Amino acid sequence: MRIFSGIQPSGRKHLGNYLGAIRQYVEGQGRGDPAIYCIVDLHATSLAYEPAALPGYVYDTAAMLMAAGLDPERCVLFRQSDVREHSELCWLLCAVTAYGDLTRMHQFKDKAERERELVRTSLFLYPVLQAADVLAYRAHEVPVGDDQRQHVELMRDIAERFNATYGDVLVAPEHRIPGVGARIMDLQDPGRKMSTTHSEERGLVFVDDDEMAIIKKVKSAVTDSGGDVRRGPDKPGISNLIEVLAVVRGTDPADVERDFEGQQYGAFKGAVAEAVVEYL
């Protein structure tokens, strides 16, 4: 099975990135034949960015991935802009991509609203370049977080439309989204996913945060006024922390609820903080 996924070199990575995607990259090294991972620096130019800082972000991202467990002897790791065929295939795929499909992409709508000065065409075409990234290698599986589900579904549509037009050339890949931890929420605003683009720093746990910073952020996470450690639509903050603890412990959220039955939020948050520190 050929595995492919890409990660943007856009600054520091947080717990949501790690649990949703990066841990899958590490695991995929044992299953992929090969496992191919790409630092997608071209994608990073689809939003406002600092050109002089981008090369440094690429190196930082590569270092972080290897520190997380990626081994160049067990996977392929490269920079997107070093392989011009990604851009060339993107243009060819545009010929079979419907304009209406791109206008329905949730990420485009969300990011376009936040770009006050200039909404770039590259942001609109982001899913097509992403499709080219994967389809160029005929990958069978794409490990991603839940926020990329719609893009992978579009990727499959593009591949099938291309094959119907030009012959059976491309492979329509399947997404691999973890059952637990696919969408980690902001610690201060648990109605939003954890994201560097619209979260305050205290709502983010960065993978390179020191121990005290992680403990402080987790212990100050927003929760409801109740006291039961259980999941529910009325308890988004606690539900998020339950999911985080389940992932880092390698267990089921229901087991976490049983383990902390009758305990107060303070003790639970402390346990989550300690587990995250040890995990990272």
Beta bridge partners of 143: 176
% of the chain surpassing 70 pLDDT: 98
How many CA atoms within 13 Å lie on the side-chain side of 151? 27
The answer to the question of residue 60 being in a domain is yes
pLDDT of residue 112: 67
Q: How many domains does the chain have?
A: 2
Q: Per the structure block, which two tokens stand in for 223?
A: 């929760």
Spatial neighbors of 103 by CB under 8 A, at least 6 apart, are: none
Average pLDDT of span 225-234: 86
| Mean confidence (pLDDT) of the chain | 91
Return the pLDDT at 117. Answer: 73
Look up residue 44 and give its DSSP letter: G
For 35-88, the pLDDT digits (tens) are 999 999 999 988 878 889 999 999 999 999 999 999 999 999 999 999 999 999
Choose the final residue of a domain: 135, 159, 176: 176
Q: With a cut of 70, say whether residue 264 has pLDDT above it.
A: yes
Q: State the CATH number of the domain containing residue 60.
A: 3.40.50.620
Q: What pLDDT is recorded for position 193? A: 87
Can you tell me the distance from the alpha carbon of 53 to that of 31, in angstroms, rounded to the nearest whole number? 34
The angle subtended at Cα 22 by Cα 17 and Cα 28, nearest 5°, is 155
Residues 148 and 220 in one domain: no
Q: What is the pLDDT of residue 146?
A: 80
CATH number at residue 236: 1.10.240.10
Reduce the DSSP state of residue 96 to 3 states and report it. coil
Q: In terms of domains, do 118 and 246 share one?
A: no
In this structure, is the dihedral angle defined by the CA atoms of residues 170, 10, 65 and 147, taken in order, positive or negative? negative
pLDDT for res 278 = 92
Residue 234 resides in a domain: yes
115-148 pLDDT, tens per residue? 667 788 888 899 999 999 999 999 999 998 888 8
pLDDT exceeds cutoff 80 at 109: no
pTM higher than 0.85, yes or no? yes
- The answer to whether position 196 is within a domain reads no
Cα dihedral value 79, 84, 85, 89, nearest 10: 100
Q: Domain check: are 171 and 207 in the same one? A: no
Same structural domain, 17 and 144: yes
pLDDT at 199 over 90: no
Q: What is the pLDDT of residues 165-195, one digit of tens each?
A: 999 999 999 999 888 888 899 999 998 888 8
| Per-residue pLDDT at 115 | 67
Q: Determine whether 99 is exposed, middle or buried from the number of CB atoms within 10 Å of its CB (0-12, 13-18, 19+).
A: exposed
- Band (pLDDT 50/70/90 cuts) for residue 218 is very high
Tell whether the model's pLDDT for residue 111 goes beyond 80: no
State residue 31's pLDDT score. Answer: 92
Would 188 be classed as within a structural domain?
no
Residue 221 contacts by C-beta under 8 Å, 6 or more apart in sequence? 187, 188, 190, 237, 240, 241, 269
Please tell me the predicted confidence (pLDDT) of residue 211: 94
Residue 110 maps to a domain: yes
- Asked if the model's pLDDT at residue 104 lies above 70, the reply is yes
pLDDT at 147: 80
> Residue 176: which H helix or E strand, with range?
strand 174-176
Query: Is pLDDT of 2 > 90?
Result: yes
pLDDT score for 201: 87
**Which of 192-201, 246-255, 260-269 shows the lowest per-residue confidence on average (mean pLDDT)?**
192-201
Of the candidates 176, 178, 179, the residue with the CA atom closest to the CA atom of residue 142: 176
Domain boundary among 124, 143, 176: 176
Domain that holds residue 243: 201-279
